[in-house]
Amino acid sequence: MTTAEIQALDRQFVWHPFTHMKLWLADDPLVITHGEGAYVFDSDGRKYFDGTASLWCNVHGHRVPKIDAAIRDQLAKIGHTTLLGLTNEPAAKLAERLVQIAPSGLKKVFFSDSGATATEAAFKMAAQYWWNLGRPEKCEFVGLTEAYHGDTVGAMSVGRTTAFHKPYWPMLFKTHFAPAPIEYRAGLHARVCDDALLGLRAILEKHANTIAAICIEPKVMGAAGMIVQPEGYLAGVRALADEFNVLLIADEVATGFGRTGAMFACDLEEVAPDLLCLGKGITGGYLPLAATLTTQKIFDAFLGEPWEGKTFFHGHTYTGNPLACVAALASLDLFAENDLLNHVRETASAFSLDLATLKDCPVVGDIRQCRFMVGVELVADPETARPFDPRLRVGAAVCQRLRARGILVRPLGDTIVINPPLITTAEEWRMVISALRIELDKITPDAGVAERGDEQIAGDY
């Protein structure tokens, strides 16, 4: 098919996720045909650096021989078989491997197929855990302001992002919102560690009797704009959960599998959650797979007699899909073979000074980095953190211009997010940072950059 034919088909039939379809339809979409390492190629043969890691999930790059081969070998056996009433070797092996690398105490793995299903399963497990123990009133949750846990109803209820989910608020279940420890952004709850923990404590003091669990994105709140939590916050949340007898759910869909330089962000503060949600990078970014890990104690609470109704009646058709599981196993092998966590740590230290120089740009308000998770927040006035008029769509315009320079990144509002494959080298990071600097230097704080027509395609999120 020609590029024009694919674009025409797309325009006619496809509704894109998180996309302003009016803008989309007014432009020619980029058609990606193949990838290699940290790059993808369009239908005209142009090469782009995959600065979003294909939406925060690619780990070892594209077309990785070992993962390709694992999937091909599995295809010669079976593409899909269910975990409802049956099992298969890749799923069983992967569950063992995940338990081996997860924070201590997590012993059981429940598979699903996306980040949202991993968190949804965690919420239901937490609520039913208390129900099974004869405490049905403990069915509410604590989330953080501006957290994001996915787009299903439970996930939206606990991660109530203003930008994404406002139309659905009336249909969401009751959740208590603790202030997120956001150090910079005006307009949000700009409190630091102690205040945030005090806010959480206040909720627990009043409502612990009806709360099943606290859910947080440990260390980095990705979709909120790569908000990096202050040191000690995560451990503080764990301590409060213990003190008030509520479970802790760690949503590591974005942070898991090496992005923070540790296998899991919880490892950075030696925190073991009661439930751990994994997705995105679990298959190296190849196939949809997710997992919710939990403790023996929680699992055991579901072991009543069949007629007691304590079973976890939850599941998805593609749960434990063997193709996805072999991709995940190969990906885990590659972490060890390539000493990837070390690469992430060393590379991140190598480019962080370069990143910090962006602070000189007159529209850079805040630079947030946790190893390979980077957010550069653009504001009209860095002193007061006054944001740009959202109608200017400054972040989207900058990303559009970077695309012309062969770099794919997406904004979260006016925060430019750089979250590339973990194999990215320091030189590639520097290439992205210097291209970003060139574009940022063109922006005037008062006028912004948005020339009409300039902001097409990228969308705001």
Q: What sign results for the dihedral spanned by CA atoms 108, 313, 237, 222?
A: positive
Closest CA to 161 of 139, 142, 144, 137: 144
CA atoms of 326 and 182, how far apart (whole Å): 38
DSSP lists the bridge partners of residue 448 as: 444
CA atoms of 177 and 168, how far apart (whole Å): 17
Put residue 183 in one of left, alpha, beta given phi > 0 → left and psi -120 to 50 → alpha. Answer: alpha
| Contact window for ligand PLP (CB under 6 A) among 35-43, 215-223, 307-315, 385-393 | 215-223
What φ, ψ does residue 346 adopt, rounded to 5°? -65, -45
Question: Of residues 111, 141, 148, 335, which one binds ligand PLP by CB under 6 A?
Answer: 148
Task: Report helix, strand or coil for 230.
Answer: coil
Binding string, residues 381-420; x marks residues near ligand PLP by CB under 6 A: ----------------------------------------
Task: Report helix, strand or coil for 258.
Answer: coil
Q: Is 439 in the site for ligand PLP (CB under 6 A)?
A: no
Q: Is 114 in the site for ligand PLP (CB under 6 A)?
A: yes
Which of residues 3 and 152 has its CB atom nearest to ligand PLP in the complex?
152
CA atoms of 205 and 431, how far apart (whole Å): 49
Which of residues 155 and 204 has its CB atom nearest to ligand PLP in the complex?
155
Q: Is 279 in the site for ligand PLP (CB under 6 A)?
A: yes
Q: How far is residue 422 from each of residues 16, 59, 115, measured CA to CA in Å? A: 26, 5, 19
By rule CB under 6 A, what count of residues binds ligand PLP?
Answer: 14
Q: Is 179 in the site for ligand PLP (CB under 6 A)?
A: no
Q: Is 260 in the site for ligand PLP (CB under 6 A)?
A: no
Q: Side by side, which strands form the sheet with 407-408?
A: 32-36, 39-42, 47-50, 407-408
Which of residues 29 and 279 has its CB atom nearest to ligand PLP in the complex?
279
Q: Is 119 in the site for ligand PLP (CB under 6 A)?
A: yes
CA atoms of 40 and 2, how far apart (whole Å): 18
Q: Is 120 in the site for ligand PLP (CB under 6 A)?
A: no
Query: In the range 229-258, which residues lie near ligand PLP by CB under 6 A?
Result: 251, 253-254
Question: Of residues 90, 115, 281, 322, which one binds ligand PLP by CB under 6 A?
Answer: 115
Question: Of residues 140, 217, 377, 439, which one binds ligand PLP by CB under 6 A?
Answer: 217
Q: Is 143 in the site for ligand PLP (CB under 6 A)?
A: no
**40 contacts 408 by C-beta, under 8 angstroms:** yes
Q: Is 375 in the site for ligand PLP (CB under 6 A)?
A: no
Which of residues 216 and 440 has its CB atom nearest to ligand PLP in the complex?
216
Q: Is 213 in the site for ligand PLP (CB under 6 A)?
A: no
- Looking at residue 317, the DSSP 8-state letter turns out to be T
Place of tokens 């058609």: 31
Q: What sign results for the dihedral spanned by CA atoms 170, 175, 178, 181?
A: negative
Which of residues 119 and 331 has its CB atom nearest to ligand PLP in the complex?
119
Which of residues 220 and 450 has its CB atom nearest to ligand PLP in the complex?
220
Question: Of residues 149, 160, 185, 393, which one binds ligand PLP by CB under 6 A?
Answer: 149
Question: Of residues 116, 200, 330, 432, which one binds ligand PLP by CB under 6 A?
Answer: 116
Shortest Cβ 114–ligand PLP spacing (Å): 4
Which of residues 286 and 388 has its CB atom nearest to ligand PLP in the complex?
286
Q: Which residue is nearest to ligand PLP (CB)?
A: 115
Q: How far from the centroid of its chain's Cα atoms is residue 18's Cα?
A: 15
Q: Is 222 in the site for ligand PLP (CB under 6 A)?
A: yes
Q: What sign results for the dihedral spanned by CA atoms 260, 282, 427, 432?
A: negative
Task: Report helix, strand or coil for 72.
Answer: helix
Shortest Cβ 223–ligand PLP spacing (Å): 5
Which residues lie near ligand PLP (CB under 6 A)?
114-116, 119, 148-150, 217, 222-223, 251, 253-254, 279
